[in-house]
């Protein structure tokens, strides 16, 4: 049993595969740092009861959280988890390479570019997020947030694949020149992009493999990086 526990989002029928970009950020960060941990899988419907018991705050309950039992510490939010790991394990491979502000800004830009990737998975998430009551609640809250049905929000998959590949042009160009998106060493930009791409791989596997990873004939830069990063997922 490890002293660090990562609370991650369970999806129906996925046999302990993580498909949430937020929890993936925490998972990949722990793995880059080489910190052993146990995963506690939580259903979406359990988050409001399980998480506040641990965080003991009034903050809206979400995953990921990590619990460090050796220090009696609970940290909520993927960014705060990365900051905690960076500060607590300075000798392990770095996530921010001394420039946290730059990486925070990079994440904000990537989050804004992530829409076509989310569109490619939203209906699949809605169908796998828990029992019927949880699925209905997920659909209701998201449709209220988007102001339309999930299917309308998802739109035409061909359009979203095209948009996703447009967005990835810069990423491919960067990877043609450097081993990692963060430069010569792996870092937070790799963590964030990998999290979004693994989400699509887990939730829309065939489209991801054939149309995104191999989306540009003759260009293997993205696939080679993705395979290089697989050990951190």
Ligand X SMILES: N[C@@H](CCC(=O)N[C@@H](CS)C(=O)NCC(=O)O)C(=O)O
Between CA 120 and CA 94 the distance in angstroms is 31
Query: Between residues 204 and 222, which has the closer beta carbon with respect to ligand X?
Result: 204
What interhelical angle do 21-33 and 188-203 show, nearest 10?
A: 130
Q: Which residue lies nearest ligand X, judged by its C-beta?
A: 62
- Report, in Å, the least distance between residue 77 CB and ligand X: 4
CA 209-215-217 angle, to 5 degrees, is 120
% helix / strand / coil in the chain, to the nearest 5?
60, 10, 30
Beta bridge partners of 9: 42
Query: Between residues 62 and 114, which has the closer beta carbon with respect to ligand X?
Result: 62
Query: Between residues 203 and 222, which has the closer beta carbon with respect to ligand X?
Result: 203
The strand pair at 73-76 and 38-42 is best described as: unpaired
- Candidate list 6, 33, 35, 64; residue touching ligand X; CB under 6 A: 64
Is residue 200 involved in binding ligand X (CB under 6 A)? Answer: no
Burial class (CB in 10 A: 0-12, 13-18, 19+), 175: buried
Is residue 63 involved in binding ligand X (CB under 6 A)? Answer: yes
Is residue 94 involved in binding ligand X (CB under 6 A)? Answer: no
Is residue 77 involved in binding ligand X (CB under 6 A)? Answer: yes
Is residue 195 involved in binding ligand X (CB under 6 A)? Answer: no
Find the distance separating the first CA and the last CA of the chain, reported in whole Å. 20
Which residues, numbered 3-62, are part of the site for ligand X (CB under 6 A)? 9, 20, 22, 44, 47, 62
- Report, in Å, the least distance between residue 141 CB and ligand X: 7
Interface residues toward ligand X, by CB under 6 A: 9, 20, 22, 44, 47, 62-64, 77-79
């Amino acid at each position: 049993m490890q002293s660090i526990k990562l609370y991650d989002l369970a999806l129906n029928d996925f046999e302990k595969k993580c498909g949430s970009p937020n929890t993936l950020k925490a998972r990949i960060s722990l793995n880059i740092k080489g910190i052993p941990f146990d995963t506690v899988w939580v259903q979406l419907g359990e988050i409001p009861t399980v998480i506040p018991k641990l965080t003991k705050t009034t903050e809206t309950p979400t995953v990921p959280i990590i619990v460090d039992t050796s220090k009696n510490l609970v940290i909520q939010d993927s960014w705060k988890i990365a900051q905690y790991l960076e500060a607590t394990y300075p000798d392990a491979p770095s996530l921010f390479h001394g420039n946290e502000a730059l990486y925070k800004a990079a994440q904000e830009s990537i989050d804004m570019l992530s829409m076509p990737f989310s569109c490619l998975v939203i209906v699949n998430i809605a169908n796998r997020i828990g029992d019927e009551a949880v699925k209905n609640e997920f659909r209701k809250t998201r449709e209220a947030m988007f102001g339309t049905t999930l299917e309308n929000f998802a739109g035409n998959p061909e359009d979203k694949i095209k948009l996703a590949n447009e967005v990835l042009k810069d990423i491919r160009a960067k990877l043609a020149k450097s081993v990692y998106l963060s430069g010569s060493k792996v870092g937070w930009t790799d963590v964030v992009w990998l999290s979004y791409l693994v989400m699509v791989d887990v939730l829309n596997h065939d489209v991801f493999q054939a149309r995104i990873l191999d989306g540009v004939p003759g260009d293997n830069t993205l696939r080679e990086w993705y395979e290089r990063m697989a050990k951190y997922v």
